[in-house]
Amino acid sequence: MKKVAYIRTSTGKQTLGIEVQKEALKAYHPTHWFIEQVSGRKENREQLNKALDILEEGDTLIVYKLDRLGRSTKQLVNLISQLEERKIHLNIITEGIDTATATGKLIFTILSAVAEMEASLISERTKQALAMSENKGGRPRLNHLTKVKVLEMHQKQAFTVNEIALKLDISESSIYRILRTHQQKNNKG
């Protein structure tokens, strides 16, 4: 019987998260390891799919935490149903869930709903914070005076784009955008 470990973090910057999960899963002596760095909301995850493909009846899928498998109740319930149909066990070590038991199945369903609610709350808080903030995400708005200064300095040809950027404390890409917009306005009129 295979014991398949699945480890996931959301980004490539979370290598510590991978190491923590690896260390915890070692105690369960997995026969196979699948590791990826991708959002839990993504439905089609390459390494999870590979892990699921090799699992057979009686095997166990081992994960560190419920949210490593997915973020939506629908996604998690579909996965557990798929595993159940194939008679594959799921062991979620931090939550102490083992779907080989009726209690484990119930707890898994409840925790799936909680994980989805938590993701929704994070999304709502982020949207509320952005709505209240002057910074709406994306690049900051440049005021009209800064744009005029960019055009004047560029037309004098006394400064390079890099020097203008340093003097006005803006990015070179902002300068090129201002110049391009100005050029397009002049071409139209």
Is 137 a domain residue? Answer: no
Same domain? 67 vs 125: yes
88 and 60 in contact (C-beta within 8 Å)? yes
- The residues annotated with a catalytic role in the active site are 10
CB 64 within 8 A of CB 25: yes
Alpha carbon distance 134, 130 (integer Å):
8
In a domain, 48, yes or no: yes
Query: What average pLDDT score do residues 30-45 get?
Result: 89
Q: Number of structural domains, the chain?
A: 2
Q: Does any domain span residue 97?
A: yes
Tell the residue number behind the tokens 């979620």, with chain if given.
Answer: 92
Whether 119 contacts 112, CB under 8 Å: no
Q: Has residue 136 been placed in a domain?
A: no
Taking only the tens place, the pLDDT of each residue in 38-92 is 887 787 899 999 999 999 999 999 999 988 988 777 788 778 878 888 999 999 9
Largest CA distance in the chain: 78
Q: Find the domain containing 90 and state its range.
A: 3-131
Give 115-136 pLDDT, tens digit per residue.
Answer: 778 778 888 888 888 777 766 6
Average pLDDT over residues 85-106: 88
CATH number at residue 36: 3.40.50.1390
Q: Scanning the structure block, which residue is given the tokens 């419920």?
A: 66
77 domain-assigned: yes
In what side-by-side order are the strands of the sheet with 89-92?
32-37, 3-9, 60-63, 89-92, 97-98
The whole model's pTM is what? 0.58
